[in-house]
Homo-oligomer: A and B are copies of this chain.
């Protein structure tokens, strides 16, 4: 690797002059500037960021800890982080903990979990990252950072239990609201729901959004229209008859997988999806496009969550004394209009 010293020697100037020119400082004659810049190109010099970082005491790097990169929401979140890093000249140090592969889906109750996270955070600290983004694989409340962390940090997708660590999350209420509003706009009044697992943040918030949308449209909430599912396709399949018999004209499924089960059963019942019964999903999983008819659903603002989380860190870096307590940033969902909902008007 060619260093600043070598190009200084080649140009018969001091390393200080080269450094100044490279960093766009005004003090340098046009002549030497030209000469230096030329040899820089000629020798294909690239600055050594490691040395620079050591000197400057910051790395322009953001540590990104993801619980599992193979989970469907993670890549989009990273994509948002990337975009933001690109815009502001940061780079990403990625830590993929591979939690699902290591401990299956109950990893977060595992004894070792907290220790692993601590170790990874310290690792990132050693590498002098300027900030840390923790990306959960599913929504839940957690405390993963110690209270005396000295650099900005944030949780993406999950909810922070830590007063001074903000979180960026899906606005589930809003997501359910726009889904139901869309159904109402299409003339539906008797709208069934198949929920996710009980006590899940998603389930509760989405139910609340559903109720709010009904209320705002002066439609009475009928508790009998709520069927308890568990996110699985089977729970969609098994609850379809019940809702159909209750006379609903549309079914709001709290995820796209449940909607798949509803499709299965409606086909067996010879009901035309869209015409006889409208179906709307949640999550906008890749497979929703391939349903027949393709599924109208609510897209998660994953990219936005990543982008906002990263922007928040960078803002905190630029403005260290501007911290808010218990900050929760909710990103709005958006509707993916396809062909599983038709107008009743």
Q: Which residues of A line the B interface, CB within 8 A? A: 1, 46-51, 53-54, 59, 64, 69-70, 72, 74-76, 78-79, 82-83, 86, 91-96, 98, 101, 122-123, 125-128, 150, 233, 257, 260, 264, 285-287, 290, 292
Contacts and interface: CB of A to CB of B under 8 A. Distances in A.
Copy number in the complex reads: 2
Given A49-B128, A128-B49, A82 B59 contact: no
A92 B94 CA distance: 6
Given A72-B286, A79-B96, 8 more contacts: A1-B150, A47-B126, A48-B128, A50-B50, A78-B94, A91-B93, A92-B95, A287-B290
B290 A48 contact: no
Secondary structure of the A side of the interface? helix
8 contacts: A1-B150, A48-B54, A50-B53, A69-B75, A74-B75, A78-B94, A82-B94, A92-B95
A74 B64 CA distance: 17
A69 B78 contact: yes
A53 B83 CA distance: 28
A264 B291 CA distance: 10
Contacts of A95: 91-92
A260 B91 CA distance: 39
B122 A46 contact: yes
Contacts of A122: 46
Contacts of A150: 1
Contacts of A70: 75-76, 79
A261 to B, nearest CB: 10
Nearest to A52: B126
Given A69-B82, A78-B96, A93-B93, A51 B54 contact: yes
A196 B63 CA distance: 40
A20 B69 CA distance: 38
Scoring A48, A50, A150 by chain B CB atoms within 10 A of each residue's CB, the highest score goes to A50
Contact of A287 (B49, B91, B93, B286): B286
